[in-house]
């Protein structure tokens, strides 16, 4: 979402990525890194937790004694060094028309939903997860089940195959080997790049595209028109 929103903004303000790659990249890196810092502060250790390891140590600015920073590790921040590069390169390659950029910006409805994710729930607001336990949790589970049912088996299988290192995929053993090929932060960056290299593997792209199409409810005709 951030990648796309910043890209659409960059395209509307400075022009196509093909002609303004550096400006695009600067904006993607800036907003992406700031969003990760904000996101980790709000949710790391709550919605997910990174465990510090020899290859993914606590980020240097996480050693300030603030309890909310203690599970902030280097890897998720480094993601925002490399992902913007990959995304900007994709934008350069696709070279979409800037004429449509403004209307491609996420609409206010989506922005409002995103803002609400990180805002305290108002009294009485339906928040099935926060009021978890018992029947409400069952309702929450059912809501996710309905929304993601189309991809559950295939995404589970993809994660298993990544873990096992199935043919055509960069598996976890190779990722770990990259992590341990050098001391952090260089080794951390190597491991991250091994992870992201899957996005260029044909096998991975085909399977992940299947997940995307199912989530977006694309049909064959939609697929062809987006190529």
Pick the binder of another protein from 13, 30, 34, 100 (CB under 8 A): 100
**Count of chain residues binding another protein (CB under 8 A):** 107
Can you say whether the dihedral through the CA atoms of 156, 216, 20, 25 is positive or negative? Answer: negative
Question: Would you count residue 47 as binding another protein (CB under 8 A)?
Answer: yes
Q: Which stretch binds another protein (CB under 8 A): 19-27, 182-190, 195-203?
A: 195-203
Give 30 or 159: the residue with its C-beta nearer to another protein.
Answer: 159
Judged by CB under 8 A, the chain residues 115 through 174 that form the site for another protein are: 116-121, 125-134, 137, 140-149, 151-153, 155-156, 158-160, 162-163, 170-173
CB of 22 to another protein, least distance (A): 18
Are 24 and 121 a contacting pair, CB within 8 Å?
no
Are 27 and 33 a contacting pair, CB within 8 Å?
no
Question: Would you count residue 66 as binding another protein (CB under 8 A)?
Answer: no
What is residue 128's DSSP assignment? T
Distance from C-alpha of 80 to C-alpha of 73, rounded to nearest angstrom: 13
CB of 2 to another protein, least distance (A): 8
Residue with tokens 């800037």: 98
Distance from C-alpha of 54 to C-alpha of 187, rounded to nearest angstrom: 10
- Give the CA count within 13 Å in the CB-facing half-sphere of 22: 0
Question: Would you count residue 38 as binding another protein (CB under 8 A)?
Answer: no
Question: Would you count residue 204 as binding another protein (CB under 8 A)?
Answer: yes
Question: Would you count residue 98 as binding another protein (CB under 8 A)?
Answer: no
């Amino acid at each position: 979402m951030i990648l796309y929103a910043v890209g659409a903004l960059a395209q509307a303000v400075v022009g196509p990525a093909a002609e303004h790659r550096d400006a695009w990249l600067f904006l993607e890196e800036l907003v992406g890194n700031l969003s990760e810092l904000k996101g980790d502060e709000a949710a790391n250790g709550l919605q997910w937790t990174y465990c510090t390891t020899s290859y993914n140590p606590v980020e240097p600015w996480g050693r300030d004694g603030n309890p909310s920073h203690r599970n902030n590790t280097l890897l998720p921040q480094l993601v925002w060094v490399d992902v913007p590069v990959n995304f900007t390169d994709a934008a350069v390659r696709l070279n979409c028309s800037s004429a449509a950029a403004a209307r491609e910006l996420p609409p206010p409805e989506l922005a409002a939903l995103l803002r609400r994710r990180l805002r305290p729930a108002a009294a009485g607001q339906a928040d099935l997860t926060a009021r978890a336990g018992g029947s409400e949790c069952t309702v929450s589970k059912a809501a996710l089940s309905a929304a993601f049912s189309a991809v559950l088996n295939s995404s589970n299988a993809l994660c298993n195959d990544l873990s096992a290192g199935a043919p055509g995929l960069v598996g976890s053993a190779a990722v770990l080997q990259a992590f341990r090929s050098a001391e952090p932060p260089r080794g951390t960056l190597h491991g991250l790049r091994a992870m992201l290299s899957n996005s260029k593997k044909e096998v991975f792209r085909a399977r992940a595209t299947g997940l995307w199409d199912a989530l977006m409810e694309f049909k064959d005709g939609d697929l062809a028109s987006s190529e």
